[in-house]
Structure 1
Amino acid sequence: MIKLKNDFLSVEIAAKGAELKSVMDINKPHEYMWQTAPGHWGRTAPVLFPIVGSLKEKTMYVDDVAYNIGQHGFARDMVFHIVEQEDERVLFEVTSDEETLRMYPYAFKLQIEYVLKDRVVAVSYRVFNMGDAKLYFSIGGHPGFNMNLQSGQCELCFEEEEVLNSELIDMQVGLIKREFKPLASGVDSIRISPSTFDEDALIFSHLKSSYVTLVDHKADRQVSMSLVGVPKLGVWSDKGDFVCIEPWWGIADYVDSNQQFVDKDMNNRLNPQEVFVCGYDVKFH
């Protein structure tokens, strides 16, 4: 486990998946990150690459060849190596290999960087096209935060007043419908509870706010995530005492997908030797 530390936070990151596993407050014994529990989600903050969500029939086609990738891709289960490390910063890297090429026919390099800045953890993703053809991919974060969700005293707060319409999910197949569920209009916050996730994740697009804050009124704690440059935001829980705030540069297949990976909604495209950079910051209050 890789450890970063400053005067405010102590952070632990696993080499497997370059996954953020722990964020502890130095001055009080509080763990901000979900630590898993029997019968509930078994991860903490996986990276989603080279897909976000699920493929239709778990299959995509590239040049008429079928490839199978499970939900959220395979990078979360790869062992990353450390490129650079300092007291408050670490840079991880993984590259395509024979195993990934059997699932995903593109040569890539993926870097994930974590930087501590006072009470903020800055997460950066860099995708390099290492091949001779155009690279198609999606990427996203899936950090889960400890919250007393079952208390009914949690709230999702936005910087600006928003029109909150959530894209609907076909729960039988795990794909996105081209339909929306209106949640609220002209509001800067919504209460969240286990029933919020009766129809799976909330999925928001085109938010005006530059950040969103998850508030646990019972525990008097909160975390804020930057939204600048984030095209899709997922909010999810399996109804355990945690909530995931998920910045996505991509989305699961829609129910009417033709399964051609080059046509996939919201896929990012990189020419040979180009680099795609994105990321988000989380402030732990």
Structure 2
Amino acid sequence: MNQASGHARAKEPWRRYLPWQGGIEVAFWVVAFAIPAIANTMVALMDAQRDGHVLPAWQPALWEGSSALVSLLLLPGLLTLCSRWPMHADTWRRRLPLYLGASVAWSIVHVVGMVLVRKAGYLLLGEHYEIEDWLRRFAYEYLKDARTFALIVIVDHGYRWFWRRLQGEARLLDPPDDGSATGQEVRPERFLVRKLGREFLVAASDIEWLQAAGNYVNLRVRGRDYPLRSTIAGIAAQLDPDRFVRIHRSYIVNLDTVASIEPLDSGDARVHLQDGTALPCSRRHRDALRARLGTPAATA
């Protein structure tokens, strides 16, 4: 049964995609900026030919290429912003000013960066590149950059939303509304997982470990990650303390899955699980973990 289910999981399309995910994402963004740059270069050359102007091909290629290059260099920062402070239905009002400010910063750095690249390119070719009215030019560029910025945010949020739905997204089951838990702390015994329109239950005891991921906490269950909308501190307060223990600012582990603790020279530790997974354990949580497992504390 376990072997068959393992083969079934291995055949899931999103699992086959995982080893290629990073490369495909990088290629997507490179192509997304390269195609418009090439198209705009060709349009500029055709417009110049139509109007009877002599325009060396390297000039529009440098204009468009410098813009695309600087945008790609800025892209990791914007994607990090989207990951750490995503906008959702319950957060967009609070985070909209952050994104507006980031769009201005993006445009300023983009304009300055592409101008420097163009100056260097013109200099190498024995020409001179100059902008006369910086304020007017920035206003013009910001209108374009704001659209690009917004499109990147929309694409990234949509991609993350689809990826969570493809993997499956968890949420806490609502406590029973019968008054029986009044005055008592209710701890979730099961989580409801929604995946591609289907719902099923995951027992809390089946969770192997949890990892903070921005506004989400990934629940690792039998080799699968299920994102849960929560903070790591919020979910830690609701889990059974006899079973789950915090080992790092970003990790919680199920004590039943721990195989060994490997001390490190830095004072931190590495927690090895029964399935071979290794998780980081910070020094502030190391001794507490040892005590919970009944392992003598290190004397170092």
Instruction: Identify the TM-score tier after normalising by the shorter chain.
Output: under 0.3
Q: Which has the larger radius of gyration?
A: 2
| TM-score when normalising by structure 1 | 0.22
Which structure has more relative contact order (CA 8 Å, sep 6+)? It is 1
